[in-house]
Amino acid sequence: MPVADYHKYCRMLERAREGRFAYPAINVTSLTTANAVLKGLAESRSDGIIQVSTGGAAFASGSLVKDMALGAVSIAEHVHRVAERYPVYVALHTDHCQADKLDQYVLPLVEETEKRRASGRPNLFSSHMFDGSALPLKDNLDISVKLLERFQKNELILEIEAGVVGGEEDGVKAEASAKLYTTPEDTLEVARRLNAIKGACYLLAATFGNVHGVYKPGAVKLKPTILRDCQEAVVKHYGEEARFFLVFHGGSGSELADIHEAIDYGVVKMNVDTDTQYAFTRAIAHHMLKNYDGVLRVDGEVGNKKNYDPRSYLTSAEASMAERVKQAVRDLRGTGTTMFKT
């Protein structure tokens, strides 16, 4: 199916919240990893979200060019083309973009969408995240409001973050003193500012102790009830239509019980990167160790072209990552939930 348009995407989010499941949002950095996500989603009969981080996008543009907007365009165009062949809907999203990177990343991509819309073509991306979590909430929301006004005109969905996700992603590390738990007061302020923009749609990454990366059991203390408290506060204050679409960052390595509880409180998107990175690399490591004298020219031998052709191990990596995507879909109770009907 084509990439989900705005109405399909909004419907996807509503269905997930009503049906108490969530979409995996998987980070990709290449054609192969994007294809792995599509394969995993298709085999799960689940819709989902493909996302690109600033670093992933810079990587995708090539190490000599390192242009994050260009790399993101390239991946998105690939997904638009190949997604037509898969019987599920996929949305295209850009991950964390801090305020100082908006000019290099999100804004050129929004401009690209505006150009496309002006010539009657579909949006390039379906949604973008602005991560103002390092700023005071007022500054974060001042920027978010401006973005959302522009997004609303272009049928784009904005993801924002209130509170800080711990750990490190893309070389951006949360401060040790960071505010890892969002408060109901924060989220009321989010609703007050953003719901004033009529007809706009946004996603909220409220933090409840989640961290990027994978840690040994016990190191991460999640408090999903924070999400419940935030939803209850906003619904009490602004009515049922103000209920948030929540995003769970740092989903890799989380306990299933915490994931399910978070979904019950309105999480509709869970970001997965570390676990799918590992699945991809695990298959390559296996190939290299198993075919040591095939992939290398050892002791004057010539190796085995079948073993060192990158397609051999990248095909295994694609399959392994797709399996991990399928597990993410199962964990998020999404198997078989696609809106696509054959």
Catalytic residues: 95
Q: How far is the CB of 160 from Zn ion (least distance, A)?
A: 12
CB of 155 or CB of 161, closer to Zn ion = 161
Largest pairwise CA distance in the chain: 75
Position 269 contacts Zn ion (CB under 5 A): no
Give residue 299's region: left, alpha or beta (phi > 0; psi -120 to 50): left
User: What span, in angstroms and rounded, lies between the C-alpha atoms of 184 and 335?
Assistant: 32
Partner residues linked to 172 by β-bridges: 169
User: What span, in angstroms and rounded, lies between the C-alpha atoms of 13 and 263?
Assistant: 12
**Three-class SS state of 254:** coil
CB of 140 or CB of 338, closer to Zn ion = 140
The answer to whether 173 and 167 are in contact (CB under 8 A) is yes
CB of 82 or CB of 178, closer to Zn ion = 178
Q: How far is the CB of 239 from Zn ion (least distance, A)?
A: 29
Single out the segment in contact with Zn ion by CB under 5 A; choices: 2-10, 238-246, 249-257, 281-289.
Answer: 249-257
The answer to whether 5 and 155 are in contact (CB under 8 A) is yes
- The count of residues interacting with Zn ion (CB under 5 A) is 1
Position 249 contacts Zn ion (CB under 5 A): yes
Q: What pairing do the DSSP bridges indicate for beta strands 90-94 and 211-212?
A: unpaired
Residue number of the CB atom closest to Zn ion = 249
Single out the segment in contact with Zn ion by CB under 5 A; choices: 13-21, 244-252, 276-284, 313-321.
Answer: 244-252
CB of 17 or CB of 249, closer to Zn ion = 249
CB of 214 or CB of 296, closer to Zn ion = 214
Partner residues linked to 208 by β-bridges: 181
Amino acid at 207: T
User: What span, in angstroms and rounded, lies between the C-alpha atoms of 302 and 291?
Assistant: 13
The answer to whether 129 and 89 are in contact (CB under 8 A) is no
Q: How far is the CB of 130 from Zn ion (least distance, A)?
A: 12
Single out the segment in contact with Zn ion by CB under 5 A; choices: 74-82, 242-250, 306-314, 329-337.
Answer: 242-250
Burial class, 158, CB count within 10 angstroms (exposed 0-12 / middle 13-18 / buried 19+): buried
**Three-class SS state of 163:** coil
Single out the segment in contact with Zn ion by CB under 5 A; choices: 23-31, 232-240, 243-251, 276-284.
Answer: 243-251
The owner of tokens 């999480």 is 267
Q: How far is the CB of 133 from Zn ion (least distance, A)?
A: 9
* Binding flags for Zn ion, 131-160, as an x/- string (CB under 5 A): ------------------------------
Position 93 contacts Zn ion (CB under 5 A): no
Instruction: Considering only residues 43 through 62, tell me which ones interact with Zn ion, judged by CB under 5 A.
Output: none
Q: How far is the CB of 250 from Zn ion (least distance, A)?
A: 6
CB of 88 or CB of 226, closer to Zn ion = 226
**Token representation of residue 55:** 């670093």
The answer to whether 151 and 200 are in contact (CB under 8 A) is yes
Single out the segment in contact with Zn ion by CB under 5 A; choices: 67-75, 140-148, 192-200, 248-256.
Answer: 248-256
CB of 193 or CB of 249, closer to Zn ion = 249
Q: What pairing do the DSSP bridges indicate for beta strands 90-94 and 172-173?
A: unpaired
Residues at the interface with Zn ion (CB under 5 A): 249
